[in-house]
Amino acid sequence: MKKVIVISTSLRRGSNSDRLADKFAEGAKAAGNDVEKISLVGKEIQFCKGCFGCQKLGRCIIKDDVNDIMAKVLEADVVCWATPIYYYEMSGQMKTLIDRMNAMYPLDYKFRDVYLLTTAADDEEQSPKRAEMGLGGWIECFPESRLAGTLFCGGVNAPGEIEGNVKLQEAFEMGEQV
């Protein structure tokens, strides 16, 4: 059994990327894993101030929801990120959370496999590539981890447009394979 953290970064309730996150989590649970989904809806996540206090303390000095999220990520075996693609990049709130988790860099971490689920109104194959590269930069800071899989569902915009899409089943199956 693995501990799986799924981080849904869309701030839109019922978003298409959140539905992919749900299906990935369902698949991982069906395979017998301990799964927790964290939605950024309602979370307070301030911008990094670049003070590097986190490197001395092992946690960020800003008092918001980031330290709690970071503690869960550090203890997870698998981390799955889900984001809408905005202007060919990950959501701003995902990038802000990644920046704020700078405190993790010198700490011991358990995760080895990282997944990325993306959605976009645009359906071009290249649409999620910059987000994949951005997440890849974070993963490189944790040399024992790797990008284990990605899933992109294009052509979905309004909340719920993803319903009935084959990518939901693919997200479930990806979750089963963790």
Region 9-21 average pLDDT: 96
Distance of CA 14 to the CA centre of its chain: 16
Is domain 3-176 annotated with CATH 2.30.42.10?
no
| Structure confidence at residue 114 (pLDDT) | 98
Which tokens hold the place of 159? 């909340």
| Structure confidence at residue 111 (pLDDT) | 98
d(CA 103, CA 76) in angstroms, rounded, equals 16
- pLDDT, tens digit, for every residue of 83-107? 999 999 999 999 999 999 999 988 9
pLDDT over 70, % of the chain: 100
Give the residue extent of every domain in the chain.
3-176
- Residue 57 vs residues 14, 41, 74, 108: alpha-carbon distances, Å: 37, 27, 15, 14
DSSP E strands: which ranges in the chain? 3-8, 34-39, 78-84, 113-120, 146-154
Region 57-80 average pLDDT: 96
Region 134-162 average pLDDT: 96
| Structure confidence at residue 55 (pLDDT) | 87
58 pLDDT band, cuts 50/70/90, is confident
Q: Furthest-apart CA pair in the chain: how many Å?
A: 48
pTM of the model as a whole? 0.97
| Structure confidence at residue 14 (pLDDT) | 87
pLDDT over 90, % of the chain: 94
Classify residue 25 as left (phi > 0), alpha (psi -120 to 50) or beta.
alpha
- pLDDT, tens digit, for every residue of 127-147? 999 999 999 999 999 999 999
